[in-house]
Every structure is written in C-alpha cells, then in structure tokens.
Structure 1
Amino acid sequence: MRKNRLYRVLGLALLGFALGVALTQGQQELDPYKEAERQRELFRQTAGILPGELYAAQGEELFHAKRGPKQVSLEACDFGLGPGKLEGALTQLPRYFADTKRVEDLETRIVSCMVRLQGFKPEEVKRDEVKALVAYVASKSSEMPINVVPRTSQEIAMYNLGRELWYHRAGDRDMNCAICHEAYAGRKVRLSPVRSPRQGLSNEWPAYRFEADKLYTLQDRIAFCYESVGIHPPDYYSEPYIALSMYMLAEATRGKNRFTEMPGFTR
C-alpha cells in the first residue's frame, strides 16, 4: 500500500516538475539554488509532500518490518550510538565498527545489518531498499553538525586512502576530484556552484535530484563524478566509496558544516 501511494504521489509531483520546466524554458541562465527551491515548492504545492519524505517513509516501513530469512527488523542495528538509536547517527559516519571489524559508511552499515541480522545474502540486497533506508536514517540527522573525526587506526587509514583517491589522477581525461572541487571551488560548472569538501561538498546527501527524478545517496553522487570524467565507478559498498566519504566528511567537519535538510532536494 505504501509503495502504491509513493508512485501515485510521485506521479502527481512530476506534473509539478513538468510545469516548472515549462515555466523556466527560454531562460539563458538559472541560479541552481533558486531553481531548486522553486521546484521544491512546486512539489509541495502539487503533491503536498516532497519526494525525499516519501523515500524516508518507505525506509521507515522497511526498517521496522520483520524481513529476511531470520524474520527480524533492523531495530537491533547499531549505527554507532546503540542498537536502534538513529538521532544524529549520520553525523558521525563513516566510523569503525568492532562487530564487522571494518570502517563503514551509512550505506555499508545498512547492508551489513541486513546480512548479519536479517540473514539476507549480499546479492539479495536490493539497491532501492538500501536507498530508502538511507533516506529514513538520514532524516534523523537533519540540520545537525557533521562530526566525522578519524580516531582509530582503521579510521585514520581510511581517511588517508580517501585523500589519496581524491588526488589520484586516472582515466582517459587524466582527472581527479581536486581538479574540479579545489581548482574551481567557488566557481560554476554547468550553472552549479563548485564546492570543496571543507565548504560542505558532502553535506546535502542523500537528496532527491529533480533533474534526474531519483534519490541520490552520497555513494550515488561519487559514482556520478566517476562517470562524468570517464572512469567506470567501483561497485557499491566497496572501499573507495567509504574512503572518499570519510575524507570529504572529515574535511566538512573541519569546515564546521552541518547536514542540510535530510533527505535534501537539489538540482
């Protein structure tokens, strides 16, 4: 029932999006933040709810449902603050977890809990369900300060790997993350402002991207960057995503950034 409602409301919301596109055609240049806010309000007026909120509602249902071969919920999953405690959990991820003996970001932690607690095989975990669960858990950290500080040897090693990947040039275009997000920080690329990690590059994810009409997690956003420079992205939940997330969010912490409204709404 919830899924059908999701589709019905998203269908109505897309009408609002189409209207917004029609209203903005012919303009030479749009401020992406103002345009995102306008599209956000169109969704509110048309459907009375934002797509990100619908994904979070779907994630809440999945979180509390008894599922998998073991027929248990995810309420016993510990995101770093204790089993089932979600308020502010996103603010301190990635981090090292003793039960898995690895550093995990939010997405990887959700998958490991689905496997260990619910009994799913890794290949049975559905990407769309992980994204909905990300939206729900993230919704409990809206507007909170980012607080990712590598302390353990494992976290420091992951941060160092993330920094190495950030500056590593690769692909046919010989690109790295820093070429865009440091050399062009404060400027615009395809109308969108470019930010460095300390300026809050990673503080709006997960977010619904109205141009793509789907929810993006931070791993989705990193994959998009890989594809944009002609590099095949790694497999989801793999170490490069965790390492880059650790590096960006630790730098965002140094810049005293907060998460935006979670899930966000962006271009």
Structure 2
Amino acid sequence: MRRGLVLFAALLLGVALAQGDVDPREEAKRQKELLLSTAGILPTELVVMQGEELFHRKGPSGKTMAECDFGLGKGVLEGAAARLPRYFLDTNRVEDLDSRIVTCMTRVQGFKPEEVKRDEVVAVAFYIASKSTGHKIQVRLLFPEERELYALGEKLFWARSGARDVGCATCHVSYVGRRAGVLPYADVLGKDKSWTHWPAYRYSNDQTWTMQDRIRACYGNIAHPQPALYSQPILALELYLAYHANGAVVEEWPAFVR
C-alpha cells in the first residue's frame, strides 16, 4: 500500500516547478497541501508507520528495539533524536541516529550486519525522529571523542577537495544566490537551523533521506567520492552541523522538502 501511494504521489508532484525564482520552503508547503488534498496522506506518515512496525518487531534474539538505549534510557524516544549525534559508552564511539539503529539491530536484536537493510534503518529513523518534533536540538561536546569528531567536521565543512576543488562551503557560502535552492551559511549554521529539515521526504524525486543520505548526495553533486554510510566523515559533518543548530526547535520530523 505504501509504495503505491508513494508512486501516486510522485505522479502528482512530478509537474515541473514554475519558471523563475521559487522559495523552496513555500513550494514544499504548496506541494504538501496538494498531496494531502488528493491522496489524503503523506509519504512521511507512511514511512513512520513502517518504522513503528519495525521498531516493535522482534529480532533473532527475541528482543525489539524497545530494549535499545538511544541516549535517554531503554525504549525512551521522546526527544532522543534531537540529542544526536552523541558519544555512547557501550560502543565507545559517537553515533548518530542511523548508526545507533544499526547498533541496536546487531548488538541487541541479533541481526547479522549483512541482514541490516538500509530502507529499514531509514524507516526506523523516521519513526524515532518523529518523537522529537517540538523538542529543541541539544547536542553536546562533553567527551573527547565528541570534540575530536567536531573538529574533523569543521575541517571537512570548509575543506576544498576532489576533481573540482570544491566543498560544503563552496555552495553554502561562496555560491549562495547563484544556485537555486542552496541554503546560505547563515541558514545551514545559524538562524534558520536547516539541520532540523532532516530526516525528510523529498517530493522532487520520491526519496526518503536521513542526514546521512543528504551528505552523501552533496558529495556526489560536487563529483567527490561519497563517504560510506555510517562512516566517520559523515558522522563528523553531522556533529558539526547539529552542534551549530543547538537551541533550534524541531518543527516537524520527518520533514517534507523539495
């Protein structure tokens, strides 16, 4: 049922955007209203429902994800995603929502690493993130591991590399206003807190993305080798961005974006 509705949504939302300058936020609102008026449900809602089912599914160990600690205690989800990435003592590393879900599925539920499906991780991430809507971003740098990863994230954000000698700041600082839909540095790391836009459903290409997917896509857009999912470079950039979003209120997770 979910896939059919999502494909239906893609057909409805496949109309090209109007020519000229279009505020991506306003356009997203318009497309969201259109979808609700025609399909009566959003893809984000469907994915959250799928994630909830997976969260309560028993793994090979006989345990559900309710036995997992996402930072606030076993099974506590309210506001948990808004505090990630963070350092976890049980794994001795910094984890974001995606990587923590993988830890839960393998260490607690007993799935083998090769049995962990990316689409299931994303669905669970959507569900858990939905429990942080209305909460403030509260990411800390208390442990040495968090501070070290933050420093790496800062370096990666401003670095220029790859065949085109570009990086995150090239688009979000240097080319703001020259490329449609690019958020300026002040928005990415400041007043608008665009960190709170992810995870999200992208209506323009019918994709469900977490921040890991967004970062990998950005690297692909600048012709740079994409970091592997759950890798240190992705976690570093996430921590850097999330820390600068501290204090922002999550208006809606998962979001509905262009």
Fold shared per TM-score above 0.5: yes
* Matched residue, 2:36: 44
Alpha-carbon distance change, 46 to 192 in structure 1, aligned in 2, over 3 angstroms: farther
Alpha-carbon distance change, 191 to 152 in structure 1, aligned in 2, over 3 angstroms: closer
Q: Paired residue for 2:204, among 196, 208, 211?
A: 211
Query: Pairwise CA RMSD of aligned residues?
Result: 1.6
Is the counterpart of residue 56 in structure 1 residue 48 in structure 2?
yes
Distance 2:13 2:90 in 1: 44
Answer whether contact 2:156 2:237 (CA < 8 A) is retained.
Answer: yes
Deviation at 1:184, TM superposition (A): 4.3
* Matched residue, 2:6: 10
AA in 2 matched with 1:35: E
Q: Secondary structure at the match of 1:227?
A: helix
The runs of 5 or more residues in structure 2 that have no matched partner are: none
Alpha-carbon distance change, 138 to 40 in structure 1, aligned in 2, over 3 angstroms: same
AA in 1 matched with 2:118: R
Moved over 6 A (4+): none
Q: Secondary structure at the match of 2:76?
A: coil
Q: TM-score, normalised by structure 1?
A: 0.90
Count of aligned residue pairs for this structure pair: 255
Q: Paired residue for 1:123, among 96, 109, 114?
A: 114
Structure 2 matches for 1:247-258, cutoff 5 A? 247-253=240-246, 256-258=247-249
Give % identity: 47
Deviation at 1:203, TM superposition (A): 1.4
Answer whether contact 1:59 1:135 (CA < 8 A) is retained.
Answer: yes
Alpha-carbon distance change, 184 to 196 in structure 1, aligned in 2, over 3 angstroms: farther
Deviation at 1:188, TM superposition (A): 5.6
Distance 1:191 1:222 in 2: 15
Distance 2:195 2:31 in 1: 21
Distance 1:213 1:11 in 2: 8
Deviation at 1:29, TM superposition (A): 3.3
Answer whether contact 2:6 2:206 (CA < 8 A) is retained.
Answer: no
AA in 2 matched with 1:232: P
Answer whether contact 2:10 2:203 (CA < 8 A) is retained.
Answer: no
Deviation at 1:82, TM superposition (A): 0.4
Deviation at 1:87, TM superposition (A): 0.3
Answer whether contact 1:29 1:191 (CA < 8 A) is retained.
Answer: no
* Matched residue, 1:198: 190
Deviation at 1:144, TM superposition (A): 1.8
Structure 2 matches for 1:22-101, cutoff 5 A? 24=17, 27-67=19-59, 69-101=60-92
Structure 2 matches for 1:118-267, cutoff 5 A? 118-184=109-175, 187=177, 189-194=179-184, 195-199=187-191, 200-253=193-246, 256-267=247-258
